[in-house]
Amino acid sequence: MDSVTQPAAAAPADVPALDIDPFSAAFLTDPYPDHERLREAGPVTWLSRYGIYAVARHAEVRAVFADHATFVSSAGVGLANFHKETPFRPKSLILEADPPDHTRARTVLARILSPRVVTGLRETFAAEAEAMVGRMVARAAAGAVVDGIKELAEPYPLKVFPDAVGLEAEGRENLLLYGDMIFNAFGPRNELFARAAAKVQPVTAWIMQHCARDHLRPGGFGDLIYRAADAGEISVAEAPMLVRSFLSAGVDTTVNGLGNALLCLANHPAEYAKLRADPGLARQAFDEATRFEAAVQTFFRTTSRDVELAGARIPAGSKILMLLAAANRDHRQWPDPARFDIGRRATGHMGFGSGIHACVGQVVARLEGEVVLAALARQVATIEPAGEPTRRLNNTIRAIASMPLRLTPA
Ligand code: OVP
């Protein structure tokens, strides 16, 4: 029986029950009114439709992340409970794992993606950002309405990140299809999932083929995973699975992180003016966009024991939905949370998670965000919407398919 039609467990007596569907088209199109209802109903709520708990306030989201022994990842970080349902794909060795298994994988990935290593990419990433923004600005100078997604937010991560992993150029569109699939798979088996999963076989085959050592350029992130296997830190069988994590988590996230940041700046001209006046604000502006419009909106945990959270008694084996994007707009944590303000200190937001599973790629993601926004600040005087953006609904990612923009060259 699938997650949607599974009869929900009885509502617990001590937790407010809500009929909100966080995976409906209406919710995914504009989640913010329902985020407010979820945050204000209580620190822990019960979503009757799915028979799951939810946390939408900053303090409880952080508390769930902090107690990784009680709120585990090994039963899946989506709606599906891997103790009861077969995972959509073989489990990720880092995302869908707990210590000590998680620790081994994390150690290898954290070294490959360390600040020291990523500093070595800065020049290349910055040059590509300047060039790509330059091409978009040239089209705008010739009078064109440009597409911020198709001309920048998608092609930029699709170029620099797979280059760093050491992937060939051919067939990279599979990375976007795969991302859409696996991030939909964290939600229920709804229409969004069905549509993405229709292409699962050829896309998965392409991904797994490109996780093999002979497809990866020597010295790239992918090859460095195999060198960790050579050194005995991980097994040879684990290596392609960790490369798969790069290809799973490294593109759709940054594509939409950049897309959402562009949308924020287009919709808030005074904030863009501040960035333009001081391109040194680019990193902070990207962080604020990640708070304000988190690319990854939700993740789940599963309780490994009976636990009390903010006064709610939650039984072992329960699924808990963490609404990261709602926590990021909790007035208990931030003054004027619904205001996009690139001058604010947004650190502590949940857009990269927190605790032992906090985004291991965030150094790369922040580098991409910083150099793209800095290139815009140097080359573009004003950014204006030239029509409504088209959303691409996804069960987990806040995604944009297309965003017409009018740019004034600097
Ligand atoms: C955002 C993430 C997302 C999807 C897949 C994986 C990680 C993975 O490890 O495969 S983190």
Alpha carbon distance 191, 213 (integer Å): 36
pLDDT of residue 11: 82
C-alpha torsion 70→61→91→209, nearest 10:
-160
Are the C-beta atoms of residues 303 and 70 closer than 8 Å to each other?
yes
Closest-CA residue, ligand 1 atom 7, reads 249
Please name the residue whose Cα sits nearest to atom 9 of ligand 1.
Answer: 245
pLDDT at residue 168, rounded to an integer: 97
**Residue 328: CA count within 13 A, CB half-sphere:** 29
Query: Does residue 149 have a pLDDT over 70?
Result: yes
Q: Is any atom of ligand 1 closer than 6 Å to the C-beta of 295?
A: no
Q: Ligand 1, residues 77, 82, 108, 182: which to mutate, most atoms within 8 A of Cβ? A: 182
Q: What angle do CA 402, 408, 410 make, to 5 degrees?
A: 125
Mean per-residue pLDDT, 217-228: 98
Q: What is the pLDDT of residue 252?
A: 97
Question: Going by CA atoms, what residue is nearest to atom 11 of ligand 1?
Answer: 249
Average pLDDT over residues 63-73: 99
Q: Which domains does the chain have, with CATH numbers?
A: 17-409 (1.10.630.10)
With tokens 């793209």, the residue in question is 372
Q: Is 175 a pocket residue for ligand 1 (Cβ < 6 Å)?
A: no
pLDDT in tens, 124-137: 999 999 999 999 99
Contact between 322 and 294 under an 8 Å Cβ cutoff? The reply is: no
Rounded to the nearest whole angstrom, what is the distance from the C-alpha of residue 93 to the centroid of ligand 1? 9
Residue 171 burial (C-beta neighbours within 10 Å; 0-12, 13-18, 19+):
middle
pLDDT of residue 6: 47
Query: Rounded to the nearest 5 degrees, what angle is found at the Cα of 101, between the Cα atoms of 175 and 174?
Result: 5
- C-alpha 142 – ligand 1 centre gap (Å): 40
Q: Cβ(296) to ligand 1 under 6 A?
A: yes
| Helix 282-292 and helix 362-379, axial crossing angle in degrees, nearest 10 | 120
Ligand 1 mutation pick, 92, 98, 300, max ligand atoms within 8 A of CB: 92
Model confidence at 8, in pLDDT bands (50, 70, 90)? low
- Burial grade of 4 (CB within 10 A; 0-12, 13-18, 19 or more): middle
At 101, which amino acid appears? D
- % residues pLDDT > 70 (the chain): 98
Q: Tell me, what's the pLDDT at 10?
A: 78
Tokens for 41? 């109903």
**Predicted structure pTM score:** 0.97
- 349: CA distance to ligand 1 center in Å? 19
What CA–CA distances, in Å, run from 18 to 77, 252, 324? 21, 30, 18
